Amino acid sequence: QMCEKFTVCPNSMEMLLQNNLNLPKVTEEDGDFLTFLSFQDKCLRKISSGLYTFQTYLKYVKETFTSENQNVESLFYSTEHLARTIRHMVINPEEVIIPDAATQESLYTKLKSTKAWTEKITIHLILRDFTSFMEKTVRAVRYLKNTRSFSV
């Protein structure tokens, strides 16, 4: 939809802008999915923390990408629910890093200061990285569901 509405596509010259958003990622050092068993708790903490961090980015998308406000709002609340659910699966839930209000406000202010012509790129990068993060989250949860006795 971003590509069609705003002509923001991966091969667009505008996509060459530096991505300095520092979006959450699940990396190999968080435990790859073949040796995931020994990294389950660490990976769940990372996923939950990442989902909590994405909340600020999704708030920005929701308030900026107004033509899709209802869809993004649903995504926002679903992400918040998933972050809480996964946090409860962690052995020590208090180890999950949840950005404090000041950190969230600082990041949100930085995002809102984005110039109008880079707004579309910023939204695209957030949604692209969120999609990648969620793909890895789904794989991790499926793996856990098949190797641990819990219900998701």
pLDDT digits (tens, 9 = 90+) for 110-132: 988 877 768 888 888 899 999 99
112 CB-near residues (< 8 Å, 6+ apart) = 60
Residue-level pLDDT at 13: 45
Distance CA 107, CA 48 (A): 18
Structural domain spans, the chain? 46-151
46-151 placed in CATH 1.10.3720.10: no
Q: Pick the closest to residue 47 from 20, 79, 75 (CA basis).
A: 79
pLDDT bracket for residue 19 (50, 70, 90): low
C-alpha radius of gyration, the chain, whole number: 16
The model carries a pTM of 0.75
Q: Pick from 17-21, 33-37, 76-80, 139-143 the range whose average pLDDT is largest.
A: 76-80
In this predicted structure, the answer to whether residue 141 has a pLDDT above a threshold of 90 is: no
